[in-house]
Amino acid sequence: MPVSISTSPRGGLKFAVKAVAAGAFAVCAGVAFAQTTGQTVKIAFMDPLSGPFASTGQNQLKSWQFVAERLSGSKNSAGVKFEVVGFDNKGSPQESLNTLKTAIDQGFRYVTQGNGSGAALAISDAVAKHNERNPGKELVYLNYAAVDPALTNEKCDYWHFRLDADTTMKMEALTAFMKDQPKVKKVYLINQNYSHGQQVSKYFKEDIARKRPDITIVGDDLHPIGQVKDFAPYVAKIKQSGADTIVTGNWSADLTLLVKALNDAGLKLPMYTYYAGVTGTPTVLAAGGESEVYAIAYGHSNHSGDIGAIGADFKKKFNDDFYTYAIYNGINLLSGAMDKAKSVEPIKVAAAMEGLSVKSFAGEVQMRKSDHQLQQSMFVTKWQKVDKKYPYSVENTGYGFVPIKQMDAYVASTPTSCQMKRPA
């Protein structure tokens, strides 16, 4: 609104100047708010889109793109449009560095990855070095599934934000549940031979010894990741050990083939997993008939509300399951931080994301400032036939994972040794 300057006596000029100042402030505030509205934020997705873990990567790329589109524009508080572009890192740390360089050359300022902690560590280190050398062109790395505790402990970095719960958090919750299962007495551990699998083995043994010292570890195998085509020899060892329970952090093809070998051998043992809901495994589980399988996770396929609608619509569109719920939290955290910062610049968004709390599909979650580890509730879910209460059929099998126990964030929260160096 135009304001004229009056020369009337007794403060007319003073009043007019105040009006101009107030108007200018309002305009500036409006500009600040509008800085993010209508802007496009591009996210580079880096995970295996070929090779043994391609089915998982392709599902998660579609999931990122679907949620980004769903929560764009007026559907988020910053009013930004999110666009996700896939890069095939083949699950390799070295290929991850190549794809990161390509993404940087193409102008991406936000990157996300999750499948493989080796790749995650490489990306986190490369992002940190890039940001140090290129002030004003910083990147933010959203880790949605790589769960090596080192990423938020001794190798933590300011530019890395983890949306998943790390191995120690999941194991804390899982063993809190298992300690109350009296029939668990002899456990066989089978895991992939890289940081994640090694840590599942390590932390299970430590946690269960503290909570249920009567439980015996009767086997502890680490196998090459993504290379075993037939798990029959491992299943024979499990059977010979006399185990009454299996614990595994395997995912994608390595879990699918393990379940297939168990089915072929007719070995029906309760199995506690991290990733039984990942592409391919539910179909093989269903092929084996009734089985006692549990998964520890921060979500499940029978949520209601917005995330339930996303899952249902994703299935209609792709005839595939939406199971990486961290994506939903990631987009909400990003948009919330952009709204708070009134900017889409990574250096401002990273600062705004520290300590930020947002509403998720399972209560409030908070990005812990000290180590950039999301604090969130955890679920123990069980594989069973669908019913009226839990109707979601995973991979159209007639089965699903239903929640049998929800734990508040503090139950699974673990301390951090992170000594984070923040930008000046």
Quote the pTM value: 0.87
Range of the domain at 339: 40-165+304-376
- Residues 275, 404, single domain; the answer is yes
- Residues 282, 348, single domain; the answer is no
Please report the pLDDT score of residue 3 as a whole number: 34
- Residues 148, 110, single domain; the answer is yes
Neighbours of 210 (CB within 10 A): 10
Cβ proximity of 138 and 164 under 8 Å = no
Please report the pLDDT score of residue 71 as a whole number: 97
- Which residues, at least 6 apart from 84, have a Cβ–Cβ distance to it below 8 Å? 42, 43, 45, 61, 64, 65, 68, 112
- Residues 180, 221, single domain; the answer is yes
Residue 4, domain member (yes or no): no
Please report the pLDDT score of residue 173 as a whole number: 95
CA distance 287 to 170: 27
Instruction: Say which CATH number the domain at 188 has.
Output: 3.40.50.2300
The domain total for the chain is: 2
Residue 29, domain member (yes or no): no
- Residues 250, 324, single domain; the answer is no
Residue 6, domain member (yes or no): no
Please report the pLDDT score of residue 290 as a whole number: 86
Please report the pLDDT score of residue 21 as a whole number: 44
- Residues 249, 390, single domain; the answer is yes
pLDDT along the chain (424 residues), means of 10: 35 41 42 73 98 94 98 96 98 96 98 95 98 97 96 98 96 96 98 94 97 98 96 98 98 96 97 95 94 95 94 96 97 98 98 97 96 97 96 96 94 95 90
- Residues 137, 115, single domain; the answer is yes
Please report the pLDDT score of residue 35 as a whole number: 83
| Alpha carbon distances (Å) from 148 to 88, 136, 195 | 21, 29, 7
Residue 279, domain member (yes or no): yes
- Residues 273, 313, single domain; the answer is no
